[in-house]
Structure 1
Amino acid sequence: MTYDIREWAFSNDSELPHQDWDLFITTMDTAPLLLSLSVDPKVAKDKRKVFLACLYLLVGDAVGIVKDRTHLEEVRLFVEQASSNRNYYIQQWVSRSFQLIQNPELFDYEKWCTGDSIFENWDD
């Protein structure tokens, strides 16, 4: 699967390979790759937004949908590791993610799980 993700990231194809592809590729196994591709300047900006949206989905899914403590702890540790990344958008995601993890009642499906249109739902 990581090959397919990389292949699309560096291809000229702007369309997602298939509907709900972002849901399919967003796992703890692919999270480090999604993080790196979301900040890679060699990846087209539109595609970086897709990968960043996948990171939001990863957290939103763990907090608001799956609600499995073990999975949530894995996600929290990943967010903690990502906090060393100095990219503005990653720092914003880290901050928002920690806030959500600490306050799961703040979960808003539109802000966390609706693909790259999520960025239209944040006003901070």
Structure 2
Amino acid sequence: MNAQDPTFHGFANPVDPSPAELRAWAYHPDSVPLSSMPPDWDLLLSGDHLVLTLFELAMDPHCPARRFALHCLYIYAADGIRTNFRAHPRRRFRKLVEQAEREGDELMRNWAHNSRVLLDRPGLFDYPDWCEGGLVRENRRLG
């Protein structure tokens, strides 16, 4: 299944979707609504296994689930920074931030900026902003 398929029929295991399944769903998110997903699905997806797929989706302004993917990137960044990169590799995180700064639009550049601010000042972590979508909804840059 790829992003151009007209329908998406679901995940083999929604708790651990493959990158291809997540990508296909992201271009047809109404086929399996977020409300039908397991609780804390965003937290389950925000790990190393899917981060490159989430990044690709968040970079695509035409992806219907782009803001959801960006929300997961905020969770990924906060999780890595708050665990001093025991949860996620610093090198991968840094590469994603640099790519977002170089190639991203305003939403992605704001994610990169906010990630760098949190890296410099971890005390600015606010759960509603980083893990409940506040920074995505407001598209706000931290000072």
* TM above 0.5: yes
CA distance in 2, matches of 1:29, 1:51: 14
Match status 1:27 vs 2:44: no
SS in 1 for 2:52: helix
Moved over 6 A (4+): none
Gap change, CA 1:91 and 1:122, over 3 Å in 2: closer
Residue 42 of structure 1 deviates from its aligned partner by: 3.8
Equivalenced residue count is 120
Match status 1:106 vs 2:124: yes
Equivalent of 2:95 in 66, 77, 81: 77
For structure 1, the residue ranges without an aligned partner over 5 or more in a row are none
Identity %: 29
One-letter amino acid of the structure 2 residue matched with residue 8 of structure 1: W
Asked if structure 2 preserves the Cα contact closer than 8 Å seen for 1:63 and 1:107, the reply is no
Equivalent of 1:94 in 97, 112, 117: 112
Residue 40 of structure 1 deviates from its aligned partner by: 2.1
**Relative contact order, CA 8 A, sep 6+: which one is greater?**
1
| Largest Rg, 1 or 2 | 2
C-alpha RMSD over aligned residues = 2.4
Residue aligning to 2:20: 3
Residue 92 of structure 1 deviates from its aligned partner by: 0.6
Residue 36 of structure 1 deviates from its aligned partner by: 1.5
One-letter amino acid of the structure 1 residue matched with residue 20 of structure 2: Y
TM-score (norm. length: structure 1): 0.79
CA distance in 1, matches of 2:134, 2:129: 9
TM-score (norm. length: structure 2): 0.70
